[in-house]
Structure 1
């Protein structure tokens, strides 16, 4: 079957939902998954996962450039944590020293790398900063420093000016049962990280290594080692954020679409419009997505032009959201002009939880 021949889970997800909706789906180029051809009622659309002809080329380029996208978000009055772009350590030190003392921690990341490659979180000391910059410098000549925001990470999916789903992703933690050792609890977590879905096997997070030095260090900080037995209901963190490479932290995804407040819905829609992105993943870090986002309570970290939808459909915890159905309905709706970049004037508008104006 065509679906089973696909290696990319995102493509499988789109093809499976398209089939359910009566939309024909095939590879544009046999043996190549870069482009899918979707056909319904004589209308044909070529997509690259969650990118289509509706995404202007400039909008995609702006999303990839963290400095340009942050500048546009700031100009629209949206909350973006303080940042700078540097090439030298002295520049980085000067930026950190001008931050308020209580917020003198930064995220160090390559300016133009994707995903979490080269990203170090919660960098606090000069020595940590030098190491983090060397790591980021292996991915990009220019390095972005951004004030670290305490709290939780959220991904808000915006499709055609509507918030369709919100996912919280947080470090995996242990919950004691009163009789299992920490090693046994980690083994149980690893056993449950692979789930079976209609599109195939899904790895929720990479395996947690029991002998990982950072995991053991965090357990030791809490007064535990791998042979100890936590009491029933006791929670133990496995990952500290300080000076941690982002890609080394194992995270679980939980749906919280019903929790986002009206003001944050409006901000996310405004962020997508500011860059002219029709299908956008807004990355936010804050204490609570149910409270209005401000620089004191969090900020917008990135706006992605190629958001992954898998964790919205198959979260580890919480309700599945039919975001792919929304995406396909959007693609085959009455043809529109591509969303255009330009000046965006934010208006005071009330939205419901799906982002629709009331």
Structure 2
């Protein structure tokens, strides 16, 4: 159904992301479409909030055959973009319809050329897969909506045939999409480098990220932070309040640790994340041995730890400053004075089940552990909770089960903020999630026995309300001036190169490390040639954008290459041209026609910042 026309991921000024052009064929379009019912289905079953089309006027009224086909194509493009986001592929705009024509080979069929987002290292066949799937779904629902009233089979097919294959080509964590979405909204340039790693910003203002890890983090510090035993030793030596714990290898050592630490205790693997294998509130030898045996199934490195009084609080530190602090409460249901705990859990789970499968959180548990948590609070599953009263279903918050966050960013005590920043600096982390267990985070740690429980080198970002709200602050702390450098473009041959060199020399005299490149010549800040293995303006420019010594860039556009490739940047700071014609980028080396230069200038003009 789809065919890629151009494969190189450059900017042509039509989208705010790198572009590609696809040809999409719609056959068997329904003669009459209930648009309201179709849009409601997309919203209810797939969670798709449709954008209004800016192209419908170009194809006549929606009631015309061309108009209806264009309206259907616009929904296909939005659905394809949404499915890619569900698979954590960062496609943030549906694209544009460039051309529509009737398919002369088949009555009632239409051909569309569409401009859509291209993400580097997403294979061609995966792009075709998602647009073909979106086309089949849209045609099917438009033709026979009753067949899709029950969406669960569709979810299963999408998961198996579309989402899993898409996820396999870009394996990223939960933080990546929210971070990139925030960067996109704030005009911070970014590009996929492969293997789920992204570059934010250009040149000297660039930063590499992988999930929520940043390239400026200490690799050694991040490694140590993952080992809870060594990390606690580091903090103790640095004068920070660390857990009182013992590393144990067998049950006898666990019992000996209890003698030294007292009750209550916590048992946890020293090298696991997400709360895996953690058992709290241990108050007897039988509980201790049971917890040890459970944790031993996950790791050979086990900690027995004196349980600190209080609740875990996550403090996010970015470049030495606290961005937010939240109290992390376990998953719980809130009473309304009418329903039992069991009914509240069922209602919460029904609400989750009504969502698209990819939007569902873990279901609220009804098991022996939740029963024990309720009993500890004086409740049972049959209890009717008073209005506003919370009943927890797990002893602690964990990634596996989720939980509730209560914001303490404003009331965090300065002394607690200080130890969070000191802990991040100790491990050399520019982005760190510091977990402080405290009975009251508004009081200083040294007054109430609070401890730093863990230092997380890759804290999950963008999932809670507090984290989503502060993502702009996170990016501002990591990237100066939105990660952008000055990029100037000169169009022409010999004269344009002379003009570009003059500007480079002027910026060099001002102390700016300005580089210059054309399709076959690259100069360092002092004007000395830099050999490049790559040929072509696009490749050489892309290489310089990843060089952290580059503070400004001058492009000399001497051929019509970028009409095919586009530019690897979404904006330029300045644009000048000489009176010379451009050379052709084809092997014959003939001069391009005057209108080709006009096309190049028109493309660059769309990218010019005004």
TM-score range, shorter chain: 0.7 to 0.9
Distance change >3 Å, CA 275–CA 193, structure 1 → 2: farther
Task: Establish whether residue 13 from structure 1 lines up as the match of residue 160 from structure 2.
Answer: no
Q: TM-score, normalised by structure 1?
A: 0.78
1:326 corresponds to: 473
1:27 to 186, 192, 201: 192
Partner of 1:306: 458
Q: Aligned with 1:294: secondary structure? A: helix
The structure carrying a bigger helix percent of its residues is 2
- Give secondary structure in 1 for the equivalent of 2:272: coil
Query: Partner residue of 1:67?
Result: 229
Aligned-pair CA distance for 1:331: 3.2
SS in 1 for 2:452: strand
**Post-superposition offset of 1:193:** 6.4
Where do 5+ consecutive residues of structure 2 fail to align?
Answer: 1-80, 89-166, 168-172, 484-547, 549-610
**Alignment deviations for residues 57-84 of structure 1 (CA, whole Å, 9 cap, x no partner):** 1111111122221111111211112111
Q: CA deviation at 1:296?
A: 4.5
Q: CA deviation at 1:219?
A: 3.3
Which of these residues, 58, 61, 66, is aligned with residue 220 of structure 2?
58
Query: 1:164 aligns to what?
Result: 323
1:206 maps onto 2:362 in alignment: yes
**Which residue in the other structure is 2:344 paired with?**
185
Say yes or no: does 1:85 pair with 2:247: yes
Q: Which has the higher strand share?
A: 1
Question: 1: CA distance between counterparts of 2:422 and 2:179?
Answer: 26
Question: For residues 64 and 222 of structure 1, do their structure 2 counterparts lie closer, same or farther at Cα, with a shift above 3 Å needed?
Answer: closer
Deviation at residue 175 of structure 1 after TM alignment: 3.4
Q: How does 1:1-358 map to 2 (within 5 A)?
A: 1=81, 3=85, 5-6=87-88, 8-29=173-194, 32=195, 34-40=196-202, 43-100=205-262, 104-190=263-349, 206-210=362-366, 212-220=367-375, 224-240=379-395, 250-294=402-446, 296-311=448-463, 314-315=464-465, 322-333=469-480
Secondary structure in 1 aligned to 2:213?
Answer: coil
Conserved 8 A contact 1:166-1:255: yes
Q: Please, what TM-score do these two structures have when normalized by structure 2?
A: 0.47
Contact map agreement 1:264 1:292 (CA 8 A) in 2: yes
**Which string of whole-angstrom CA distances, capped at 9 and with x for unpartnered residues, describes residues 239-298 of structure 1?**
456xxx967765212222112011111111111111221111101111011011138432
> Cα deviations across residues 198-256 of structure 1 (Å, max 9, x unaligned)?
xx9755x521133x122223434555443443344444443456xxx967765212222
Q: Is the 8 A contact 2:365 2:393 kept in 1?
A: no
Task: Choose 1 or 2 for highest CA Rg.
Answer: 2
Q: Deviations over 1:135-184 (max 9, x none)?
A: 22222212112111132110000000000111111123343322222222
Q: Distance in 2 between matches of 1:112 and 1:137?
A: 12
Q: In structure 2, the residue corresponding to 1:28 is in which secondary structure?
A: strand
Q: Is the 8 A contact 2:370 2:393 kept in 1?
A: yes
Q: Which has the higher contact order (CA 8 A, sep 6+)?
A: 1
Q: Relative to structure 1, is the Cα distance of residues 237 and 51 closer, same or farther in structure 2, using a 3 angstrom cutoff? A: closer
**Aligned partners of 1:83 and 1:286: how far apart in 2?**
17
* Matched residues, number: 317
Query: Residue 167 of structure 1 contacts residue 255 of structure 1 at CA under 8 Å; is this kept in 2?
Result: yes
Output the CA distance in 2 between the equivalents of 1:20 and 1:326: 13
